[in-house]
Amino acid sequence: MENKTIAWSSLLSDAVNKPGIISSAYTVFHNYSVANQLWAWSQCLSREIELSPIATYKKWQTLGRQVKKGEKALTLCMPVTINKKDDVGAKTGEVFQLFTVRANWFTLSQTEGEDFINEVKTPEWDKDLALSKLGITEVAFNNPDGNCQGYATGKNIAVNPVAALPHKTRFHELAHVVLGHTNEMTMSDSERTPKDIREVEAESVAYICCSILGLKGLEESRGYIQHWLSGNEIGDKTAQRIFGTAEKILKAGRAVEPVAE
């Protein structure tokens, strides 16, 4: 993980197959995106660095701590704003944003100085707020198939009133909409659901959301993902879509979004 590139598919595979990773990473790295949390976790693990809060060199200085001599920064993905220029190199006034990787972060264990108490945050998520921000409506469930846990169509989702894990099903159906699956066709989650990467994407999003929020159903979710993968691998582009969608759904349900330093 030291090569300035993110192995998105590897991070997702670890998250799904190694229970507890996402919740552990969130507890420590809660100010960062889901993908960056897992990447920071992976780098700490590979370099045998104690899992602890991370911040930039400048931020640690404001907290009364200094980075220890010889410590190497962690690399995370971050947005960068670029000024557009014309043919002669003059700024046009237009800007665009892209994502790049930068080695700017250090863990608490890589620093020394004044005592630091990490504020442990309890993740909170409001269903109604998320639906409103995402422009999605939860409608009454009217599918006669008793095996169907929920479904999504257009900008609507429905959850079976007797679903085994309604919160997991809700995240799964939200993911179908946010991922754009319902622009193609109505999705129905039942025992007859076709083996398709769309199911892996939606359930992976549900798994991440449930992990971070400390909700039940992780074992069932892992089994569902592995069943529909059937030995196939998730590609980097798919993994990026999954991380991005989980992040969007989680942020939509939070009244205040954390800002990373």
pLDDT of residue 2: 41
Distance CA 189, CA 152 (A): 9
Residue 191 clears pLDDT 80, i.e. is over it: no
Burial code of 127-154, b = ≥16 C-beta within 10 A, e = fewer? eeebbeebebebeebeeeeeebbbbbbe
pLDDT of residue 193: 37
Distance CA 111, CA 36 (A): 20
Condensed to tens digits (0 to 9), the pLDDT of residues 63-78 reads 999 999 999 999 998 8
Structural tokens at position 149: 């846990």
Q: pTM score, two decimals? A: 0.83
**What's the average model confidence in pLDDT over 187-213?**
77
Contact 74, 103 (CB under 8 A): yes
pLDDT of residue 189: 56
Q: What is the DSSP string of the chain?
A: --SSS--HHHHHHHHHHSTTHHHHHHHHHTTS-HHHHHHHHHHHHHTT-----EEEHHHHHHTTEEEPTTPPPEEEEEEEEEEEE-TTS-EEEEEEEEEEEEEEEEEGGGEEES-----PPPP---HHHHHHHHT-EE-------TT--EEEETTEEEE-TT-SSHHHHHHHHHHHHHTTGGGTS-EEESTT----HHHHHHHHHHHHHHHHHT-S-HHHHHHHHHHHHTT----HHHHHHHHHHHHHHHHHT-SS-----
Total residue count of the chain as it appears in this document: 261
- Which is more confident, 30 or 250? 250
Contact 125, 254 (CB under 8 A): yes
